[in-house]
Amino acid sequence: MIRIQNLVKTFGLHNAVDDISFEVPQGAFLVLVGPSGCGKSTMLRMLAGLEQPSGGTVSFGDKVVSDGNKGWTIDPAQRDTGLVFQSYALWPHMTVAGNVDWPLKVAGLAKPERQARVTEVLRMLGIEALATRYPNEISGGQQQRVAIARMIAPRPSILLFDEPLSNLDAKLRVEMRTELLRVHRATGATSVYVTHDQVEAMTMATHVAVLNNGRVEQFGTPEELVRSPSTAFVATFVGTPPANLVPVDLLPPERGDGLPPNALAMYRPEDVSVSATPVPGSMAFDFAEASPVAGRAMLTGIKGALRLTAVVDAAPSFTVGDTVHMVLPETPAALFGADGEVLP
């Protein structure tokens, strides 16, 4: 449904988006995830038609909607897309029903058809009782539902979300993730969702593009990214908690022997155990913190600039600053070269 080919967006001498290519199938829920400044919002704005590419093309189905090489882009209103901003951007002088009705009115629908569609989408989002209220009379979570209702009312084939949950509290974020996925399934649209929160990415997506410095580090399903990260950056960015990377030259001899020098060894937190005393294959760390995770314990140790996390069923009691011996499995889950790329 969405095809991006060699897409580039330059601001001055900086490439905010740097030669990105991938394809998104019809009905997918793609999440663009990465740290602040990685280019994900710029990507979304080019999909929406709010930014013109400096190079490359964007296609929806068989139709090219932006061509940076030729210097043209189709107007946002002609793209059959809906967009929800982080700020919701509701009209303050319009009621909830008026906000949802507005894009239908602009599209030229007759009043009876508009009224029926407004009622339908307000009911879908569970906010039909708010129809006559104004945005300043409802909560942030309710405003978010209104923004989503307004987006889906014209039945766009592509839904675009720019960090739509970042202004909500933690509990409401979880509830709204479920709501967004329900809306996605109900509409059958292809969705593209921008977030810096990798938990949102991994729980919502059918496909994930991990961006860093304007480039795609890896594109695939959430399972592929966690199981087989293609770069050291992906290994330490996705997963809850993410994987541990240890320089081979810092490993205990019984773990580092035979591994390529200058490489990084990846160990999954659930494969690391802890001990109060030294044992073969262990490394001594200063205990930093512990927290419960789904009935297990997540422990973190620090040794200089190196942090190591273990997820265990039970562990001895430690006080911050105590020495904890973290036991590595015999074989790392993966190895990465000095360039950050996975080694065969």
Assess whether 178 and 277 both reside in one domain: no
Instruction: Give me Rg for the CA atoms of the chain.
Output: 24
How many angstroms separate the CA atoms of 44 and 315, rounded?
A: 44
Tell me the average pLDDT across 122-127. Answer: 91
* pLDDT score for 245: 97
Q: Is residue 87 part of a domain?
A: yes
CATH number, domain with residue 99: 3.40.50.300
Assess whether 27 and 161 both reside in one domain: yes
Q: What percent of the chain has pLDDT above 70?
A: 100
Assess whether 183 and 254 both reside in one domain: no
β-strand partners of 265: 246, 335
Residue 25 pLDDT more than 80?
yes
* pLDDT score for 70: 95
Assess whether 274 and 170 both reside in one domain: no
Weakest mean pLDDT among 1-5, 77-81, 219-223: 77-81
Assess whether 42 and 175 both reside in one domain: yes
Classify burial at 252, counting beta carbons within 10 Å of its beta carbon; exposed 0-12, middle 13-18, buried 19 or more.
middle
Give the end of a domain, one of 183, 208, 235: 235
Q: Is residue 45 part of a domain?
A: yes
Give the end of a domain, one of 186, 201, 235: 235
CATH number, domain with residue 330: 2.40.50.140
Confidence of residue 197 (pLDDT cuts 50, 70, 90): confident
Please, are residues 145 and 133 in contact by the beta-carbon 8 Å criterion?
no
Q: Which domain holds residue 88?
A: 2-235
* pLDDT score for 167: 79
Please list, in sequence order, all residues whose beta carbon lies within 8 angstroms of the beta carbon of residue 16, skipping any fewer than 6 positions away.
9, 10, 39, 42, 214
Computed from CA positions of residues 216, 219, 223, 227, in that sequence, does the dihedral angle turn out positive or negative?
Answer: negative
Assess whether 23 and 119 both reside in one domain: yes
How many angstroms separate the CA atoms of 7 and 206, rounded?
A: 22
Please, are residues 73 and 122 in contact by the beta-carbon 8 Å criterion?
no
Tell me the average pLDDT across 247-257. Answer: 95
Assess whether 81 and 25 both reside in one domain: yes
Assess whether 231 and 245 both reside in one domain: no
Assess whether 175 and 250 both reside in one domain: no
Tell me the average pLDDT across 155-177. Answer: 88
* pLDDT score for 61: 92
Assess whether 80 and 184 both reside in one domain: yes
Q: pTM of the full predicted structure?
A: 0.88
Assess whether 164 and 23 both reside in one domain: yes
Assess whether 178 and 218 both reside in one domain: yes
The pair of three-digit structure tokens given for residue 20, joined into one six-digit string: 């990105």
Give the end of a domain, one of 235, 266, 292: 235
Total domains in the chain come to 2
